Amino acid sequence: MPGTINPTIQGMTVNLSGGPYVASDQRLCSVGRGQFVIFDLETAAPDLAAGRTDPPLPPKHRLANLDHYPEREIAEFRFRFICNLKPALEPDGSIRFDQPQSQYVNRSGISLNRYGAGPFCRLRIPGNISVSGVYAIIRDGCVLYIGECQNLSQRFNAGYGQISPRNCYQGGQETNCRMNTLVLREALAGRALSLYFRECKDYKNLEAHLRQEVRPEWNRI
């Protein structure tokens, strides 16, 4: 019956939650809405055999070493799946909210930026991807945002994922607040986001090209 299909697929997929767990050497990995690839747990990483989790980290910080890693094309450029973007949770399973602006000693009376009022969430991606390139945030196969970075893990874990008090105010990094707010909004609405990445040296030019080519909803063209 149709009501039994989704839980079964979820239980077979390493990067989806829900459904009965399926004990198998081969599972599925979601690469878009209704799109899956075979994901061999034994080949990918021993710790995945114990249960569902995000796909393993690439060895030696090099994404290109994992030929079996789920991929997708964005304007004819190949991107590799990194992880799903999930806010940190409280012990009861609810999203953990942050209000860092209250920690800033605002002696000069600086105003909050457009996204500085929060609330914010905590985000974290694998911490060993210290390479430059272009990343894409995707929902249901649709590219929402294209960005560039010198260090992917630092960009998310120290930038988007943990908002500093100063960045909530004018003159701070408003983009960090904005992206955190957008990811939180999607999570509250129950919509899943995925992070994809293309390692490259010419990341600024590639980002500019893709933003014009794809014109993602969250980018300011």
Domain ranges of the chain: 1-56, 57-214
**Three-state SS for 31?**
strand
pLDDT of res. 67 = 41
pTM over 0.75: no
Q: Is 153 exposed, middle or buried (0-12, 13-18, 19+ CB in 10 A)?
A: buried
Instruction: For residue range 76-127, list pLDDT tens digits in order.
Output: 999 999 999 999 999 988 999 999 888 888 778 899 999 999 899 999 999 9
122, 183 Cβ separation under 8 angstroms? no
pLDDT over threshold 50, residue 62: no
Q: Is 92 exposed, middle or buried (0-12, 13-18, 19+ CB in 10 A)?
A: exposed
Cα 70 to Cα 182: distance, rounded to the nearest angstrom: 25
pLDDT of res. 54 = 40
pLDDT of res. 106 = 79
Helices of type H across 71-173 = 152-154
Residue 41 sits at φ, ψ, to 5 deg, of -65, -35
pLDDT over threshold 60, residue 58: no
Closest to 104 measured CA to CA, from 95, 92, 112, 114: 112
Find the angle CA(35)-CA(33)-CA(219) to the nearest 5 degrees: 125
What length does the chain have?
221
